[in-house]
Amino acid sequence: MNGTNETLSLNLQLITLLVLVLLIALLTASETALLTYKRLHATSRKERLNHLLSHTDQVITLLQLFKYFLLILVIWLGLALMSRFIDLAVVWSMVLSLLGFTLVLLLVAELLPRKLARLYPESFAYSFAEFYSALLVLAWPLVALVNLLANMVLKLCQQPTTPPNIVKFSGAELRQLIEVEGLNIPPEHLEMLISIVDLESSQVEDIMIPRHQLVGIDLAEDWADIQEQVIHSLFTRLLIYEHSVDNILGFVHLKRLLPLLAEDKLDREHLKASIRPAYFIPKGTSLIQQLLNFREQARRSAIVVDEYGDILGMLALEDILEEIVGEFSTVPIRHENTIQIMADGSAWLDGATPIRDINQALNLDLPVNGPKTINGLIMEHLELLPVPGMTVLIEQHPMEIRKTRKNIIKTLIIYPAIPASNLSGAADGKK
């Protein structure tokens, strides 16, 4: 009979211990769910849940009180059970018991419920809203007392109850935070958020339209040619210069010229009067800062210059937006896989251009039995991540990397081939 009673008592203790661990797990899950739900949603369809979300500090205090109370019960009951098998008078046995139950609580009552609550915050938050609302009313004096004591301790330590300054994160920390906490964010939205963070580490010279690709109107040209350019322009904002790109006057919006053109009143003087002075920016400006500058200056285009004032290229607001949302297919000059042959024989092209198209357009003989795009061919040759300004020699052709995005070559220049005799002579000279 005594043996039966002992068995029942042991089973009852085991069941009680299991129930207590599950209760702690539910407390942890509901706490995480409330915090996650508050971060993802401003309001809820349930009034009870809205009330809890507006008193988060008190609710967390309530949860912590019950969690620690249950933890004490679990440890006490665990030690009582372990006394049946291990002599608790031995210090090492006590340490072993505490470590064992701590590990179980960490896995079952902390880590697992937190992960589940982050995946399904709404389900957990809705499930416990009614229960915690009622419990908060009942335990209000105790919760208020604990918060009051905590605030008194902070005041005695001369510490403010709220932080005076907002904690600032670095770009790498923000990127990691977005990747870790972005489980419920659609992949395309998550990619855009990461791209916004990456703007801090990129500069305007990384994505600008290079000087050689600038398209504009030269006021020194014949008026008939200028008028033809205005009529057939592919852009809404026209770059205006005189004699040379080094003498940029500014930009003209096409909507200001079309009414004059329709009334046959457009002439050189009206065109000059419509010019808005150019906006110059240094090449080292970060993209995130330039995005803010565009907003403050009410500008959409800027001329990029170096420390000596020499013009390096042009940056448009659309170029920064493309870094966030990807390429805009409606921009005529930005068609993928286009090859622009310059007057000096060099060719500007997109890194995604197929090697077969390059061979046909430029009459080259680049290898096609390996990578299929020029980006893949250069990456295979370099055996490292590409960087703007890097030059590689493939099949006697110098190839200069001009622009990269997310470790992929976006724009490069292929120069005319260097004669083999020059290469052999240079090699002999090095020897």
At 332 the pLDDT is 41
pLDDT tens across the length of the chain (431 residues): 455 555 657 788 788 888 888 888 887 777 777 776 665 555 555 667 777 777 776 777 777 777 777 877 877 777 677 666 655 555 456 656 666 777 777 677 766 776 777 677 777 777 777 877 888 888 888 888 888 887 787 777 665 544 445 445 566 666 666 766 666 677 777 788 888 887 887 888 888 888 877 888 888 888 888 888 887 776 778 889 988 888 898 998 888 887 887 778 888 888 888 888 989 999 888 888 999 999 998 888 899 998 888 888 889 888 888 888 876 544 444 444 578 888 888 899 988 888 888 988 888 889 888 888 898 899 888 878 788 878 888 888 889 888 887 678 888 999 888 776 655 544 444 44
DSSP conformational letter for 391:
E
- Three-class SS of residue 253? strand
* Nearest in space to 403 (alpha carbons), one of 358, 349, 356: 349
- Three-class SS of residue 246? strand
Using a 10 angstrom Cβ sphere, with 0-12 exposed, 13-18 middle and 19 or more buried, the burial of residue 287 is: buried
pTM, two decimals, is 0.44
* Nearest in space to 94 (alpha carbons), one of 78, 107, 105: 78
Sheet holding 301-305, edge to edge: 209-210, 311-316, 301-305, 280-282
Amino acid at 91: V
- Three-class SS of residue 1? coil
Q: How many C-beta neighbours within 10 Å does residue 390 have?
A: 17
In degrees rounded to 5, what are phi and psi of residue 387?
A: -135, 135
Q: Could you give the angle at which helices 287-297 and 317-325 cross, rounded to 10 degrees? A: 130
DSSP conformational letter for 281:
E
Separation of alpha carbons 246 and 278, rounded Å: 12
At 60 the pLDDT is 73
R_g over Cα of the chain: 34
* Nearest in space to 194 (alpha carbons), one of 175, 168, 177: 175
Alpha-helical runs (H) found in 280-354: 287-297, 317-325
Q: Are 116 and 38 in contact (CB under 8 A)?
A: no
In degrees rounded to 5, what are phi and psi of residue 341?
A: -90, 125
Separation of alpha carbons 75 and 95, rounded Å: 12
At 99 the pLDDT is 66
